[in-house]
Amino acid sequence: MSSKKTVGNELPVHLELYRPLGARWVNVPQTASVPTSRETTRTAGAAAPQPAKTTSPPTRVFFDHRTMFDELPGPHETIQEIQADLGDCRRCKLAPSRQHIVFGSGNPQAELMFVGEAPGADEDEQGLPFVGRAGQLLTKIIEAIDMKREDVYICNILKCRPPENRNPESDEIAACEPFLFRQIAAVKPRVICALGTFGAQTLLRTKEPISRLRGQFIDYRGAKLMATFHPAYLLRNPNEKRKVWEDVQKIRDYLRSLRSL
């Protein structure tokens, strides 16, 4: 049996074997096909689908994130409908101290979606994501890959500012993240760029540090997820900018490759 056939037909079985051993991801060679969740759950005896070649870059496959989307409303929600449903949200303890809900902004059909952590003081004041110093740096990053802010969609895990910009707490993330997942389902980006620890760990259901998650594509609901450092972290650690530049170059090149198909 050729190695390509083994990867195409038996990868789901191998993944299930690795899961109890604690494995959270595997590397998939560039020429391998990645089975969809539907393929991994097909009934015994059903004809195995033929693997199709992909032009995708090397990628990792996480196990847990698919179920996060299982109970969402239908796939035809619009961003406006999701925002209307969020309303004047009081679902967690951040509501009393916020000035504005920061829902998200940008192109609702963007190829590229950025997911950060939570609004800061400037964002809370204006009701828009990434408008402070970190936001200005994010704008430069976007422009460095030949895109404009209005081309992409930008939002956060939390829609309200934690007091004193403290870290998000698990009950707040649990209350707010369904709206993020609905935003992702509505925008259907080709690439999701998770900014910083909370963005990446929440989307991937992992505790791996951002330093290990960043820099490589991860399969994510038919999109590619690239984790990288948060712009606020770069303001404190400017010598890390080179790594972010490497990460966003991969995003730029992948999106270019899709456009040229």
Binding residue for ligand SF4, selected from 15, 34, 72, 92, defined by CB under 6 A:
92
One of 158, 192, 193, 226 touching ligand SF4 (CB under 6 A):
158
Neighbours of 153 (CB within 10 A): 26
Give dist(CA 234, CA 197) in Å, integer: 13
202 or 228: whose CB is closer to ligand SF4? Answer: 202
Closest approach of ligand SF4 to the CB of residue 25, in Å:
28
x-marked contacts with ligand SF4 along 71-90 as a string, rule CB under 6 A: ---------------x--xx
Residue 42 vs 91, nearer CB to ligand SF4: 91
Report how far apart the first and last C-alpha atoms of the chain are (Å, whole number). Answer: 31
159: contact with ligand SF4 by CB under 6 A? yes
**Which residues lie closer than 8 Å to 4 by C-beta, 6 or more apart?**
31, 32, 51
Nearer to ligand SF4, 111 or 172 (CB): 172
Query: Does residue 95 bind ligand SF4 (CB under 6 A)?
Result: yes
Task: Examine residue 247 and tell whether it contacts ligand SF4 (CB under 6 A).
Answer: no
Q: What is the distance between the alpha carbons of residues 259 and 261, in angstroms, rounded to a whole number?
A: 6
Which tokens in the block code for residue 15?
Answer: 């993944």
| Residue 213: partners with Cβ closer than 8 Å, 6 or more residues away | 194, 200, 201, 204, 206, 227
**Binding flag, residue 176, ligand SF4 (CB under 6 A):** yes
d(CA 24, CA 58): 16
Q: Which is nearer to ligand SF4, 86 or 258 (CB)?
A: 86
Q: Which residues are at the interface with ligand SF4 (CB under 6 A)?
A: 86, 89-92, 94-95, 101, 158-160, 172, 175-176
